[in-house]
Amino acid sequence: MSRQTPFAAELAWPDYDRRVRGGATPILIPIGSMEQHGHHMPMHVDVLLPTEFARRVAEAVGALVAPPFTYGYKSHQKSGGGNHLPGTTSLDGATLVSALRDVIKEFARHGVRRICLVNGHFENSWFIVEGIDLALRELRWDGIDDMKIVVLSYWDFVDAATIARLYPNGFTGWDLEHGGVLETSLMMALHPELVEIERAIDHEPPSFPPYDVYPVKPEWTPPSGTLSSPREASPEKGEILLEVCTGGIVNALRAEFSVT
């Protein structure tokens, strides 16, 4: 009997082949980064979170989860603190695009026809789109024109009502949420052993000018590396986020992939 797991790489190849050859089983690919997340969390937050969302969604819709992309595009100062900070280890855009293109084409070769890219690192966004575009173009050259790919970031499923519950004192916006309430709450719910909340630094969000400068000005980024305070984070808020985001993604894939 084949092993029951949502993770594609944990299957023996004949079991994987039976699942995907006909094209009915979607593949979920988490895409993250190695990026500093303040003094209180590890640097693979952007890998752990999309992987867990992908696992929960896969179990709900009968999909499989591919191994995650553990490196992502360069951290932007206004959304991730900046690529200059120690520990943040990034790819050039062309590298990420090429790797993603290759992986999509390989899954198509296996028979996969439905893919969902679950993003956990904001800066990956446009490079994901480029990788998909190049892969689909090359697959069409090979006569494969029935692929469907969904791209999503889990935080986009947090609606206004949930934001009001999570941020009763006001919401500064997703661009300043790096290492703040959302990510810290999710990590407290899922991986409390990896969160040292007593080391979190409480500070006001930075005020960035409406332009960028390169090389970056390190003084623009709070010394903590976070862009907002995690002081209001809690495991309870993490559970709310898990329910809202997982449900939203499941509904999206049921609509787009016609899965149950």
Q: At 172, is the pLDDT very low, low, confident or very high (cuts 50, 70, 90)?
A: confident
Question: What is the rounded average pLDDT of the residues 44-59?
Answer: 98
Is pLDDT above 80 for 231? yes
Active site residue 37: yes
Q: Which helix (H) or strand (E) holds 69?
A: none
Q: Which superfamily does 8-257 belong to?
A: Creatininase (3.40.50.10310)
pLDDT reported for residue 133: 98
Residue 183 designated active-site: yes
% residues pLDDT > 70 (the chain): 99
Of 40, 44, 52, 121, the catalytic one is 121
pLDDT surpasses 90 at 260: no
Phi, then psi, of 79 in degrees rounded to 5:
-130, -15
Compute φ and ψ for 64, nearest 5 degrees. Answer: -120, 150
- What is the rounded CA–CA span in Å between residue 152 and residue 124? 11
Sign of the torsion angle spanned by Cα atoms 121, 137, 148, 58: negative
Mean local confidence (pLDDT), 91-110: 98
* Residue that the structure tokens 């960035």 belong to: 208
121 is catalytic: yes
> Which one is catalytic: 40, 44, 52, 123?
123
Query: Hey, where are the domains in the chain?
Result: 8-257
The partner residues of 47 in beta bridges, in order of sequence, read none
Q: What is the pLDDT of residues 178-211, one digit of tens each?
A: 999 999 999 999 999 999 999 999 999 999 999 9
Average the pLDDT over 199-226 and give the result: 96
State if pTM tops 0.75: yes
ω into residue 205 within 30 of 0, thus cis?
Answer: no
